[in-house]
Structure 1
Amino acid sequence: MMICDIQHLTKQFGGDDILTDVSLFIEHQDRIGLIGRNGSGKTTLLRLIARLDSEDSGTIYQKSGLSIGYLAQLPVFDNVMTGRDVLWTAFATLVGLQHSLQQIERDMATKTDQIEQLLERYTQETEAFERQGGYLLDSKIDRMINGLQLHALLDRPFEQLSGGEQTKICLGRMLLTEPELLILDEPTNHLDLDAVEWLESFLADYAGAVLIVSHDRVFLDAVVTRIAELEEGQIQLYQGNYTFYVKEKERLLLEQFHAYQEQQKKIKQMKEAIRRLRQWANEASPPSEKLFRKAKSMERALARIERIKRPKLDAETPDLAFATHGKTSRMVYRVEDVSIAFSKQPLLHSLNFEISAKDRIAIVGANGSGKSTLLHLLLGHLEPTSGLITRGPSVKIGYLSQRIDFPPGERLIDVFRATVNLDEGTARQRLAQFLFFGPRVFLPIEALSGGERMRLMLAILVHSDLNVLILDEPTNHLDIESRDALEEALESFDGTLIAVSHDRYFLNRLFTKTLWLDQTMELFPGPYAYASTKRQTQPPVAKIPKNVVSAKKRPSPSLPVQTTRQVEETIERLEQELTMLDRQLAETTDYEETMKLFSVREQLVQQLDVQYEQFLASE
C-alpha cells in the first residue's frame, strides 16, 4: 500500500539547484536507505517529505492522515522535565486517558447517585485504553530505556543534557510514538555498538515504513531492503541492501561507460561521414545538391541523438596518505595497573596492557565505559589516579578528536596554514586534494559542516610529523566515499594505529586487536566481529590479569629450565613468527583461514607470555 509518492521534485537554495528531478515511491513497511555525498541534498529531501519545507515544483502525495516521525531538530520541553518525563510525552493521549480513569474511580466512590453513568463511561474508556496498548506502556518504556541504554539520562533535567544525550532521548521518544513513516537522519551517530545492534533488531520488527539516511554500511546492510542514491539532484533506486547496491552500481556504471564509448564512436563516424559528404558535394562538378541534402539529413539525425552522459567511474574523494616519520621504538605504550576515578567514582580499574610498534588496536565498549578517557590517558591529557603509563622514547603522535574545535572567526585556509607551513598557493593546492575547491578555502570555520571539519583535521594530520595515530570516532560526519578513502589511507599507514569507533565496517577492516571496556578490560586477538563472537560464546581468549606486574614476578613451576640467553632467543623467534602471522592475517580475506590463523596466533601469544615470565623471573 502506498503511503507517499514523490514526483519530479525540485528545490533551490541561493540560486543553486539542490534537487532537480526527484521521484520516489514509499510503501507501507518499506525499508529504504537514502545515501549520497555530503551536500547532495539528503536532509533537504527529508524536510520536504516531513512537510517542514516546501518544494519549488513537483508534487508529494501522502496517504490521508499519514503520521510521520522525523527528528529534524530538538524539541523544547518544560524546564522541569527529566529525560524520563520526555519519554513519557510519547504517550500523552494514553496518559490523559489513564488520568481520566483514575478520576472516574474517585468519582464512583463519592457520586453514588451517578454510578450507572460512571460505570458505562469507565467501561468505554477502559476498553479504549486496552485497545491502544495502555497496559503495555511500562514495558515499552523499559524496552526503549534498555535498548538505547538511557538509564544515566532518565533522572537528569532534559535541558541540562548535552546535544547528543538529548538526541538519544528524543530518538527513544520518537520510536515510542510508532509513526507510519519513520524518518531517521544518521540515527547511529550518538549510539554505542550495543545500542546500534538493538536498533537494528527494533527496526526489523517495526510495523511502519522506515526511511534512513546513514553512512554506516553494516547498519544499512542489516536494516534496508532498497537503496535510494541521491546524486546530482536525482534519485536512482536499487532493489537490495548496501552490499547489493555497491555491486549493482559497479555493473551499471560499466554498462553505461561501454554504451557511452559505443555512442561516442558512432557520433565520430557520423561526423566523419557528414564531412566527407560535404567534401564530395563540393568537389562534384557541378556541386552535388543530392549529397548536400544527404549530409544535412545526417546532421539532423545526429542532433536528434540523446547523448549519454559520460559516467564518473571514480567519485571524487579526499587524497589521503599518512606517512610515518622516524623509527618507532618496539614498545609504544606500557600500561601497568592503571586506574582512574572522577569525584571518587571509579571509571577504569587495574588496566594492564602493552601496545607495540605497528599494532592496530580498536577500543570499543558502551557509552560511558571510559573509551575516550583511556585515549586521554595515553595522550597525557589526564593523569591516572594510580598506576603507571610508559610511552616509548621515539613516539610521535597524531591525534584526531571526536570533538573538533578550531579558533572562531578564522578562515579555513588560515587554520590550515597556522599548522602546516606552506605559502597560500601551495596550501590551496593541498586543500583541493581534500575537496576544498576555489573560494571554499576562504570560508569562516563556523560555516563548515561536520564532515568538512573532519576533512580539514585529516588534511592537517596528513602533513604532521607522526608515527602513531590516535583516532576518536574518525568516521563520524564523513560520507561513505570519504570513509573508504580514509580506510585505504590507514591500511597503507606503516605506523601504530589506536582508535575508538562504533563503525563496525571500519573496525573489522583495519584492526587486528580489540580492547573491550565493560567494567573489566578484555583484549581480543582479532577484529570487532571476532571479539563480539568470542564474548557471546565463551570466555575471552586473552583476558588480561588484573595485576600483571605481580604475576610476572612469579615464575611458573612447570617452566623448563633455560639460560637467560636461551629465553631471549626464544622470545625473539616467537616475536618474528608473530610478526609474520600478523602480516598473513592482514592479507587474508578468507573467513575460515582467518579463524585458523587466529588460533595459531593465540598459541603463540601464550608461549610468549610464558617466556616473558621466565625472563623476568631470572632478572
Structure 2
Amino acid sequence: MIISCQNVQKYHGAQLVLSDITFDIRQGEKIGLIGRNGCGKTTLFRLLSGEERPDQGQISIRRGSVVGLLAQIQEAETRDTVYTVLQRSFAEPLAWQSRLRELEQQMSGLDAGTDEAAWNRVLKEYGVLQEKFEAAGGYEIDASIQRVASGLGIAGSQYEREFASLSGGEKTKVGLAELLLRRPDVLLLDEPTNHLDMGAIEWLEQYLLAYDGTVLAISHDRYFLDAVVKKVVEIEDGEAITYHTNYSGYQVEKETRLLQQFADYQEQQKKIKQMQESIKRLIEWGNRSNPPNPSFHRRAASMQKALDRMVKIKRPVLERKAMDLQLQQEDRTGNQAVILDRISKSYGSRTLFTGASDILRYGETAALIGGNGAGKSTLLRMILGQETPDSGSCMLGSRAAVGYLAQEAVPEDGKLSVLRYFREEAGMEEGEARGQLARFLFYGSDVFKTIGGLSGGEWTRLRFAVLMHRRPNLLILDEPTNHLDIDSREALEEALEEFPGTVLAVSHDRYFINRCFGKLWAIEDGRFHAFNGNYEYYKEKQAEQAAAVSSVPAGNGILPAGKGGLQYHAQAPANGIASSRKQRSAIAWEQEIAAAEERLGRIDAEMLAPGIASDAVKLAELQHTRDTAQAELDELYTAWMDEAEQKCF
C-alpha cells in the first residue's frame, strides 16, 4: 500500500467539500479520479501532495515515497529557458557533473608523486561521484529530455525560449515534461491531456502504461481513461466510490450499483415503515389497556432503539442534472455552408498549409484535426473573415449565421457578474435570464459570481448559454470540450447530434470526434486533407496506408497515393471550383458520372482477384489508380452539385 485515505474531510471556509473520502492505492496502480466540476478532485490532489492538510481523517503515504504533482500554474525564474526548466528534474546529477568537472581541474594540477594523499582523496571522491552520476542516468540526461519533450510535442526550436514568454498551455506542457522526467513514485496528473494534440496524447498513454510508478490522473478524456487506468475512483457528494475497472467498465458497474442501491433503499424504506406502524400500534394498545400495559410500551421502546440503530441507506440519485443545451437555428443556410478554394497560409518561412480545398455542405459535421501549431485556429479565423489567406479564397454560404465559440481563457479582469454578462450578451430581462442560466447549472447565488472567478468549465457553459440564445445555423467551435466534465461533454454531444445545421469544430477529444463528426479535415506536414468518415475509420485508413508504404519494395518507383500524408479527397481543379466545368445537360452529367463509377467498379473487381491478393506491388499500383479514379468521381459530383445549386439560386 503506497497511499491510504481514511474518512478524510475538508472544508473551504464554511463549505464542506470532501465529507468522507476513503480509498487505498497500491504500488504501480494506474487510477482515474473522476467527478463533476467542483466536486473536490483538485482539493484531494492538494491533500495528497501535502500542500494542504485534512480537517478530519487521515492520509498515510509510504515513508520515503516521492509524490509529484502537475501544478496548475507553472513557475520558474524570470530568465529561465525552456531547457533550463526541463533540466530541473536532474538537479542533483547536474550538480554532481559540475563537481566532477571541478575535480578534473584539481587532478590536472596535482602531482601524484609529490602529494599522494591529496591525489588519493580527490581520486576517491571522483570515483564515488562518477558511480552515482552513472547510476542516476547522468550520461543519458540530454537523450531523456529529447525523448520526453518530442513525445509531448515540445519542439527543439523552443528550448531557448524564455519560459515566462510561453502561453499557459505551453507552460503546462513543459511542466508535464519536467514532472515525467523526475519519475516520482506517485504521479498526480490534473487534466494532463488538455493542452496536448492527438499524437502527444497517444504517446503519453504509452508512456504511462510502461511507467513503473503509481499514477493518479484527474481526466475527462474517456479514451485516455480507457487506455490507461485499471481502477476508477469517483468523487460524488463528497464521498469516494471505487470501481476496479476502466472507464467503460465503470459506466456499466455504476449503473448496476445504483439500480441495486435503489432496490435496497426501497426495501429498507418498506421495512422502516412497517416498524414505525408496529411501534405506533404497540403504544396505542398499551394506552388502551385498563390498567395500561407497560409490556407494550417496553416492546415499542425496544423496536424504536432497533430502528434508531439501523444504518440508513441513502437514496441514490439515478439521474443528475446536466447542462440543458438545446441548439436550434433561426434559418437554414444554402446547400454549401463553407467553401475553401485552394487557400494557402504562411508565416515568414513557415508554411502552415497550401491548396486547401473542400466544401462543407448544410447539415454536415466536420472535425478539424492536426498537431499543435499546425494552423487549425488560423484556418478557423480565415473562415470567419478575421484573417486573410495568402492565396485562394474562403467563403461562407448564403444566409449563414455563425455561432463561434473561441478557445479563450477565463478573463482575469472580468468584473461583471454571470447574470450581468449574460443579460448584456443576450438582451434579456433578469427573471428570464436567471431561468436560462439555471439550465446551464448556474443556480441561486452562482449567478452573482464574477466571470473572472469562474472555473474553465463554468466559463465554457456560460458561453454555450449565450451561443444557444443566438440560434446560429453554422457552429464553429474551437476546443469546445476543454474543461468540461464528462456529464457536460455528453450533453454537448447529444445537442450536436440533434442540431440540424452545420458544425465545424477543432478538437483533440477522440471520443467526441468519433461520436459527433462524419467528416475530418486534417492538417499534416503543411498539407490539407479532407476525409469522409469518423475518427476510428480515419485511424484504420492511416494504418492501412502505413502498411502499404512499408510493403512496397524500395526503388520500384510505385508509391501509394498521398505519400507524406493521407489524402482521400480530391483537391480542387486548377481553374477553381465554381468554374471547373462548363454548364451541360443533366443527361451529359449522368453519363459521365456513370462512366466514372463503372471505371471504379472495374478497378475494385480487379483488386479482389485471387491472383492479385499476394502481389503487394500490383496492389499498390491498383490502389494508386483507384485513388485517381475516386478523385475524378468526387470532382464530377462536386461540379454537378455546384451547377445544380447555381440553377436553383
TM-score, structure 2 normalization: 0.85
Change (3 A) 1:46 1:335: same
Given the alignment of the two structures, is residue 298 of structure 1 paired with residue 303 of structure 2, yes or no?
Answer: yes
* Selected match of 1:520 from 511, 520, 527: 527
Q: How many residues align?
A: 589
Where do 1:300-319 residues align within 5 Å?
A: 300-319=305-324
Q: Is the 1:521–1:543 contact (alpha carbons within 8 Å) kept by the matching residues of 2? A: no
* Selected match of 2:585 from 564, 584, 591: 564
Change (3 A) 1:537 1:313: same
Taking the aligned partners of 2:7 and 2:505, their CA distance within structure 1 comes to: 43
State the partner residue of 2:635.
Answer: 609
AA aligned to 2:21 is V
Given the alignment of the two structures, is residue 102 of structure 1 paired with residue 101 of structure 2, yes or no?
Answer: yes
Where do 1:280-429 residues align within 5 Å?
A: 289-343=294-348, 345-404=350-409, 408-429=414-435
Change (3 A) 1:66 1:555: closer
CA RMSD of aligned residues (A): 3.0
* Selected match of 2:129 from 125, 128, 143: 125
* Selected match of 1:232 from 229, 237, 249: 237
How far 1:75 sits from its partner (Å)? 4.7
Change (3 A) 1:409 1:350: same
How far 1:447 sits from its partner (Å)? 1.5
3-state DSSP of counterpart to 2:2? strand
How far 1:172 sits from its partner (Å)? 0.6
3-state DSSP of counterpart to 1:141? helix
How far 1:39 sits from its partner (Å)? 1.0
How far 1:264 sits from its partner (Å)? 1.7
AA aligned to 2:145 is I
Unaligned runs of 5+ in 2: 113-117, 546-560, 596-625
How far 1:461 sits from its partner (Å)? 1.2
Taking the aligned partners of 2:313 and 2:420, their CA distance within structure 1 comes to: 42
Comparing 600-609 with 242-251, which one deviates more in the overlay?
600-609
Taking the aligned partners of 1:121 and 1:604, their CA distance within structure 2 comes to: 71
How far 1:202 sits from its partner (Å)? 0.6
CA deviation profile, 1:120-170 (whole Å, cap 9, x unmatched): 333322222211111221221110121011114212111111121111111
State the partner residue of 2:606.
Answer: none
State the partner residue of 1:439.
Answer: 445
AA aligned to 1:520 is R
Taking the aligned partners of 1:384 and 1:463, their CA distance within structure 2 comes to: 31
State the partner residue of 1:49.
Answer: 48
Change (3 A) 1:310 1:535: same
Change (3 A) 1:310 1:564: same
AA aligned to 2:91 is A
CA deviation profile, 1:280-325 (whole Å, cap 9, x unmatched): 5556666655545444443333333322111000022111110122
3-state DSSP of counterpart to 2:17? strand
Taking the aligned partners of 2:78 and 2:86, their CA distance within structure 1 comes to: 15
State the partner residue of 2:614.
Answer: none
Where do 1:64-75 residues align within 5 Å?
A: 64-75=63-74
How far 1:439 sits from its partner (Å)? 1.2
Q: Is the 2:341–2:576 contact (alpha carbons within 8 Å) kept by the matching residues of 1? A: no
Taking the aligned partners of 2:68 and 2:174, their CA distance within structure 1 comes to: 14
Taking the aligned partners of 2:515 and 2:538, their CA distance within structure 1 comes to: 13
State the partner residue of 1:534.
Answer: 541
Taking the aligned partners of 1:182 and 1:316, their CA distance within structure 2 comes to: 32
CA deviation profile, 1:57-115 (whole Å, cap 9, x unmatched): 22222222221111225454333321112111211111122222223333333212354
How far 1:5 sits from its partner (Å)? 1.9
Change (3 A) 1:358 1:110: same
Change (3 A) 1:159 1:248: same
AA aligned to 1:410 is L
Taking the aligned partners of 1:124 and 1:301, their CA distance within structure 2 comes to: 70
Change (3 A) 1:553 1:52: closer
Taking the aligned partners of 1:303 and 1:398, their CA distance within structure 2 comes to: 57
Comparing 334-343 with 312-321, which one deviates more in the overlay?
334-343
3-state DSSP of counterpart to 2:470? coil
Taking the aligned partners of 2:154 and 2:357, their CA distance within structure 1 comes to: 30
Where do 1:541-552 residues align within 5 Å?
A: 542-545=567-570, 547-550=572-575
How far 1:563 sits from its partner (Å)? 6.0
* Selected match of 1:462 from 459, 468, 471: 468
Taking the aligned partners of 2:410 and 2:53, their CA distance within structure 1 comes to: 34
3-state DSSP of counterpart to 1:64? coil
AA aligned to 2:517 is F
Q: Is the 1:567–1:614 contact (alpha carbons within 8 Å) kept by the matching residues of 2? A: no
Q: Is the 1:555–1:614 contact (alpha carbons within 8 Å) kept by the matching residues of 2? A: no
Q: Is the 2:570–2:632 contact (alpha carbons within 8 Å) kept by the matching residues of 1? A: no
State the partner residue of 2:152.
Answer: 148
Change (3 A) 1:283 1:298: same
Taking the aligned partners of 1:455 and 1:24, their CA distance within structure 2 comes to: 32
Q: Is the 1:68–1:180 contact (alpha carbons within 8 Å) kept by the matching residues of 2? A: yes
3-state DSSP of counterpart to 1:303? helix
Taking the aligned partners of 1:573 and 1:478, their CA distance within structure 2 comes to: 48
Change (3 A) 1:92 1:424: same
Taking the aligned partners of 1:569 and 1:215, their CA distance within structure 2 comes to: 49
Given the alignment of the two structures, is residue 244 of structure 1 paired with residue 249 of structure 2, yes or no?
Answer: yes
Taking the aligned partners of 1:614 and 1:10, their CA distance within structure 2 comes to: 67
State the partner residue of 2:188.
Answer: 183
Taking the aligned partners of 1:309 and 1:602, their CA distance within structure 2 comes to: 64
Where do 1:32-47 residues align within 5 Å?
A: 32-47=31-46
* Selected match of 1:173 from 175, 178, 195: 178
Taking the aligned partners of 1:439 and 1:9, their CA distance within structure 2 comes to: 28
Change (3 A) 1:571 1:254: farther
Taking the aligned partners of 1:55 and 1:616, their CA distance within structure 2 comes to: 66
State the partner residue of 1:510.
Answer: 516
CA deviation profile, 1:249-306 (whole Å, cap 9, x unmatched): 1100000001111112222233333444455555666665554544444333333332
TM-score, structure 1 normalization: 0.88
Taking the aligned partners of 1:199 and 1:572, their CA distance within structure 2 comes to: 46
Change (3 A) 1:568 1:260: farther
Change (3 A) 1:278 1:481: same
State the partner residue of 2:556.
Answer: none
Q: Is the 2:327–2:471 contact (alpha carbons within 8 Å) kept by the matching residues of 1? A: no
How far 1:601 sits from its partner (Å)? 14
Q: Is the 2:358–2:572 contact (alpha carbons within 8 Å) kept by the matching residues of 1? A: no
AA aligned to 1:123 is G
Taking the aligned partners of 1:219 and 1:166, their CA distance within structure 2 comes to: 21
CA deviation profile, 1:458-496 (whole Å, cap 9, x unmatched): 111111121111111111111111111111111111111
Q: Is the 2:570–2:631 contact (alpha carbons within 8 Å) kept by the matching residues of 1? A: no
How far 1:346 sits from its partner (Å)? 2.7
Change (3 A) 1:337 1:63: same
Q: Is the 1:352–1:548 contact (alpha carbons within 8 Å) kept by the matching residues of 2? A: no
Taking the aligned partners of 1:295 and 1:72, their CA distance within structure 2 comes to: 58
Taking the aligned partners of 1:419 and 1:571, their CA distance within structure 2 comes to: 52
AA aligned to 1:141 is I
AA aligned to 1:55 is P
AA aligned to 2:259 is L
